[in-house]
Amino acid sequence: MVSSPVLEKIWHHISHNELPVALNPKTTVWASHLSDELKRRFYKCWYRSKKKAFTRYAKKHAEDGGKSVARELERICKNCTVVCVLAHTQIRKTGLSQKKAHLMEIQVNGGLIPDKVEFAHSLFKKPVEVSFVFKQDECVDVIALTKGHDFEGVTHRWGTKKLPRKTHKGLRKVACIGAWYPSKVMFLVARAGQSTYHRFRSSFFKLIKLYRIGSGSDNANATTESDVTKKQITPMGGFPHYGIVKNDFLILKGSIPGTKKRVVTIRKSLMVRTSRRDLELGTVILSFVHTTQRQTRSSYKESLNLSLLLN
């Protein structure tokens, strides 16, 4: 289950020109008001700063009545070929200790350039819920940083075979790292170093299917047709190392890289699923959501059973 911040706000859009090598940023249009959790992203030390970011931009926007913004939007429609938006998470709604929002650039596709600009401008300062982007029974790609295991040797890092017992100066090594010439170590040779904590995407390796889009305001968001008990998705005592889920959430079938509380990027699947295994899943109907306590092995893990016992 993914319960990281799923609500985002669109704050500005940026456009690009085509060059022979890469895209060249043309202009940027910001919203008139930016929240403090987004401004923290542009500061190294927030409480020592003067917090003057974007104050001149907002003042100019208020004095000319939005004429400068309209002028920049017209430039985008005439000169640009790619339109992107910047969206940030509402980190304050998660209950985490972090106060700095996550910022991400998302490309807008479909339609002509004026249509893209109008669509992006209509989302200024508005939350985009996860149900607006994804649907149930949809295959998605998950991108995140894997769990870090610090500096590891070749046996743990690459799974090389251990040397015999009587080997001099250790067993968990690579016996020969290369020939005399060429006088260098090839990149194919297993070496010790940083293990994991790398960017991983699951688009071509595993099937990640969306089983449910739950609402955080629903008191029965874990209720199913077979289990009509009114309960929420948060188990007794909360999720270990996370806490209580207060916002919208996703239930995904498949493994999610990374640790708890780590931000996860979810996108629509790039691969068209054609295998029989993927097509046979079809519409998934959940019959039961396990909400027992995760920390202990008590016989009374459900809140209903526990209340009956105490009474």
Q: Where residue 183 sits, what CATH number does that domain have? A: 4.10.960.10
Is 220 in the same domain as 92? no
pLDDT of residue 300: 47
pLDDT of residue 177: 92
- Contact assessment for residue 249 and residue 311, using Cβ atoms and an 8 Å cutoff: no
Say how far apart CA 181 and CA 177 lie, in whole Å. 12
For residue 11, the model assigns a pLDDT of 56
- Domain for residue 202, yes or no? no
Task: Give 163-214 pLDDT, tens digit per residue.
Answer: 999 999 999 999 999 999 989 999 999 999 999 999 888 766 677 888 899 8
Domain co-membership, 279 together with 138: yes
Task: With a cut of 50, say whether residue 7 has pLDDT above it.
Answer: no
More confident residue, 91 or 301: 91
The reply to whether 27 and 101 lie within a common domain is: yes
3-state secondary structure (DSSP) of residue 229: coil
Crossing angle (nearest 10°) for helices 67-79 and 113-122: 150
Same domain, 158 and 123: no
What pLDDT was estimated at residue 5?
42
Query: Residues near 181 by Cβ (< 8 Å), separated by ≥ 6?
Result: none
Give me the pLDDT at residue 4, please. 41
Task: Please say if the pLDDT value at position 306 is more than 60.
Answer: no
Q: Based on the structure, what is the number of domains in the chain?
A: 3
Domain shared by 254 and 231, yes or no = yes
Q: What pLDDT is attached to residue 115?
A: 93
| pLDDT at residue 286 is higher than 90 | no
* Token pair belonging to 98: 């972090």
pLDDT for 158 beyond 80: yes
Q: Both 87 and 139 in a single domain?
A: no
> pLDDT tens digits, residue range 212-227?
998 888 888 889 888 8
Residue at 134 is within a domain: yes
DSSP H/E element including 119: helix 113-122
CA dihedral 34, 128, 42, 18 (to 10 degrees): -110
Residue 75 sits in a domain of what CATH number? 3.30.1430.10
Q: What pLDDT, on a 0 to 100 scale, did the predictor assign at position 190?
A: 95
The predicted structure's pLDDT at residue 243: 87
265 by DSSP, 3-state: which? strand
- Partners of residue 253 on adjacent β-strands: 209
CA dist., res. 232 & res. 236, Å (int): 10
Measured in whole angstroms, how far is the alpha carbon of residue 3 from the centre of its chain? 10
* Per-residue pLDDT at 41 exceeds 50: yes
Say how many C-beta atoms besides its own lie within 10 A of residue 147's C-beta: 12
Question: Same structural domain for residues 296 and 270?
Answer: yes
Same domain (yes/no): 34, 113: yes
Q: How confident is the model at residue 6 (pLDDT cuts 50, 70, 90)?
A: very low
Q: What is the longest distance spanned by two Cα atoms in the chain? A: 81
Bigger pLDDT: 216 vs 296? 216
Residue 201 lies in a domain: no
pLDDT-derived band at 24, boundaries 50, 70, 90:
confident
Is the domain of 12 the same as that of 112?
yes
The domain in which residue 74 lies consists of 8-128
More confident of the two residues 251 and 292? 251
pTM for this model (two decimals)? 0.80
pLDDT reading at 16 higher than 60: yes
Q: Which pLDDT score is estimated for 147?
A: 94
Could you tell me what percent of the chain has a pLDDT over 70?
A: 86
Specify if 221 maps to a domain.
yes
Q: Higher pLDDT residue, 274 or 33?
A: 33
The whole-number pLDDT of residue 236 equals 82
Whole-number pLDDT of residue 144:
92
Average pLDDT over residues 265-272: 86
The predicted structure's pLDDT at residue 179: 92
Q: Provide the mean pLDDT of the chain.
A: 85
Give the burial class of 3: count Cβ atoms within 10 A of its Cβ; 0-12 exposed, 13-18 middle, 19 or more buried: buried
For 72-88, the pLDDT digits (tens) are 999 999 888 899 999 99
Whether residues 32 and 116 share a domain: the answer is yes
- What number of other Cβ atoms are within 10 A of residue 42's Cβ? 13
159 and 137, same structural domain?
no
